[in-house]
Amino acid sequence: MASVIRLYVNHPLGAGQSVPLSREQSHYLFGVMRKGVGEVLELFNGHDGEWLGRVVQAGKRNGILLCERQSKPMQLPPDLWLIFAPIKKARTDFIVEKATEMGAAQILPVQSDFTNSERIRQDRLQNHAVEAAEQCGGTYVPVVHELQKLSKLLDGWDVQRQIMFCDETRLGSGEALPSLAGPWAVLIGPEGGFSPAERRRLNEMPEAHGVSLGPRILRADTAAVAALTLWQSALGDWQ
């Protein structure tokens, strides 16, 4: 299974456009992967779709590609946010990777009352989203936000955006997902569940809909994939 290398580049893409590679990308392509002049790669930048680019300069610090033709149109994901409480580092990385594959447009880590995590490395998580987008064949990279308090996020909530919230401590008593078009957010509770105050607040928001993820308690990373699957297959781009 020979496979073409896919690269995210922070540069405009278009026919005849010359695209300089970063030092890291040049090192990876020409040092590690031993690619050379003439090699064709798939490029995307998050807004111009996917383009085939040919290597015209293979310097291990300063490679240059030439855009030839568009190989995939730009495909934006649905206007879907994933809101989650960060957990252990490896599982937080997984959630960002999986949210990218599953087609979330924005990823918002939050501190809830029962979240242990005090900080995240936003730049590292954003890089994970770039790598997952390179891998999954998408043309879009979701934005990873800085950590914020859930209560503050809900204070400024736009009532036009529906919330599907998954409370792992509330088993088998969910609503059906209402088939409302427009912007949505999927909210995954922390492993300890939402606090009573948070649960009360969500239950009082008419735009928030509690959904059950079955009779077993899912880990937060499993819950993120499961909830995004339910949403994408009912309302998103899997239909």
Q: Which span sits near a copy of itself by CB under 8 A: 40-48, 62-70, 131-139, 156-164?
A: 131-139
When the beta carbons of 91 and 201 are compared against a copy of itself, the nearer one is 91
Among 114, 126, 170, 205, binds a copy of itself (CB under 8 A): 114
Pairing of strands 143-144, 80-84: unpaired
Q: How far is the CB of 73 from a copy of itself (least distance, A)?
A: 11
Q: Where in 23-82 is the site for a copy of itself (CB under 8 A)? A: 75
Q: Which residue has the tokens 């499993």?
A: 222
| Residue 102 binds to a copy of itself (criterion: CB under 8 A) | yes
For residues 61 and 219, which CB has a smaller minimum distance to a copy of itself in the complex?
A: 219
DSSP states of 31-79 as a string?
IIS---TT-EEEEE-SSS-EEEEEEEE--SSS-EEEEEEEEE---PPPS
- What's the CA gap between 51 and 14, in Å, rounded? 8
Binding marks (x or -) toward a copy of itself, 163..202, rule CB under 8 A?
-----------------------------xx---------
Q: Which is nearer to a copy of itself, 102 or 185 (CB)?
A: 102
Distance (Å, whole) CA 125 – CA 9: 17
Applying the rule CB under 8 A, the residues between 74 and 93 that interact with a copy of itself are 75
Q: Could you tell me if 108 and 85 are in contact, meaning their C-beta atoms sit under 8 angstroms apart?
A: no
Stretch that binds a copy of itself, among 21-29, 49-57, 60-68, 211-219 (CB under 8 A): 211-219
200/115 Cα distance (integer angstroms): 17
CA distance 75 to 94: 23
Least Å from the CB of residue 16 to a copy of itself: 28
Nearer to a copy of itself by Cβ, of 144 and 228: the residue is 228
Binding status of residue 208 toward a copy of itself by CB under 8 A: no
What angle do helix axes 220-235 and 89-101 make, rounded to 10 degrees?
10
